[in-house]
Amino acid sequence: MTDAPIPRRPPRGDAWGMADTAVRVRGLRKRYGDVDAVNGVDLDIRRGEVFALLGPNGAGKSTTVEILEGHRQRTAGEVSVLGADPAKAGRSWRARIGIVPQTSHEDPQLTVREMVRHFAAYYPRPRDPDEVIEAVGLAELAGRRVGRMSGGQRRRVDVALGIVGRPELLFLDEPTTGFDPDARRRFWELIQGLAGDGTTILLTTHYLDEAEALADRVGVIAAGRVVAVDAPARLGGRATASARVSWRGPEGPQRIDTDSPTQVVAELSQRFGGEVPELTVTRPSLEDVYLSMIGATK
């Protein structure tokens, strides 16, 4: 385990223009009784992209993802996943996707190794089960029964089962819930490695730092609709938003919102004759813009 910052993959902007679309959704709707859980979602995910779906509880993330996985029927709309309609696609399509669902269905009597081997047998080109177990950090627990593992350890088994088939497209529904910080960092490295190998990844998460670390783009979904899609650094105009310069002056804490923070800092530096006490320069965090988007749709 290392505390070093995790390197982001190099941007692949130019390559994207030519890349195929992995997921294309138009006008997706899902109605449960009189609840519009998904209410007109449009979404495009490029091959090789890591896309994070953010949104509050009940926003419609899992419903959307389960429709894309072919595990739920839609009420209306067009859906194409790896070129097929998930509602009609067969076994060969299913072998090309990997799923880490929100709730797992493991056999508590099987050991981790038995479970991963068992799943590997369903796929035409599986990864080596022991390598997968190692990759999710469970090598030392490979012989342990799944029923005797902690919640976070079981979640790692879920991840192992999702990737053992060498999927082209991996769905991760809140994958790191229950992970300790060390396990989360390791999981991020694993996902970055898969993405580096070209796996397309659709992830839902409530952890904004996770979206920021992993995603090429994030989509914010609220009340069954996508309200914004952009790179994490640009979402909601973050990159161009005013900066807040804060410092401590003789009269106490001071702050100013400005479009030219460099100039403000230069002036402060001159005024203080060097170091400016408690100087910080910040722009809105992903959490700031996310919360304002969610608030705006309530």
Ligand X SMILES: Nc1ncnc2c1ncn2[C@@H]1O[C@H](COP(=O)(O)OP(=O)(O)OP(=O)(O)O)[C@@H](O)[C@H]1O
Name the site residues for ligand X (rule: CB under 6 A).
32, 35, 37, 55, 57-63
Q: 19 vs 223, which CB is nearer to ligand X?
A: 223
Question: CA-to-CA distance for 255 and 269, rounded, in angstroms?
Answer: 15
Q: How far is the CB of 39 from ligand X (least distance, A)?
A: 10
| Of 21 and 75, CB closest to ligand X | 75
- Cβ 270 to ligand X shortest distance, Å: 50
Return the bridge partners of 281, or none: 245
Nearer to ligand X, 35 or 266 (CB): 35
Q: Which residues pair with 246 in a beta bridge?
A: 255, 280
Q: Which is nearer to ligand X, 52 or 268 (CB)?
A: 52
CB nearer ligand X, residue 34 or residue 275: 34
Q: How far is the CB of 87 from ligand X (least distance, A)?
A: 17
Q: How far is residue 275 from each of residues 247, 254, 269, 280, 283, measured CA to CA in Å?
A: 10, 15, 6, 12, 21
Residue 95's φ and ψ, nearest 5 degrees, are -70, -15
Residue 182: CB minimum distance to ligand X, A: 24
195 near 249, Cβ under 8 Å?
A: no
Say what the alpha-carbon torsion angle 97, 118, 183, 23 is, to the nearest 10 degrees. Answer: 0
Phi/psi of residue 276, each to 5°? -95, 120
Q: Minimum distance between the CB of residue 62 and ligand X, rounded to whole angstroms?
A: 3
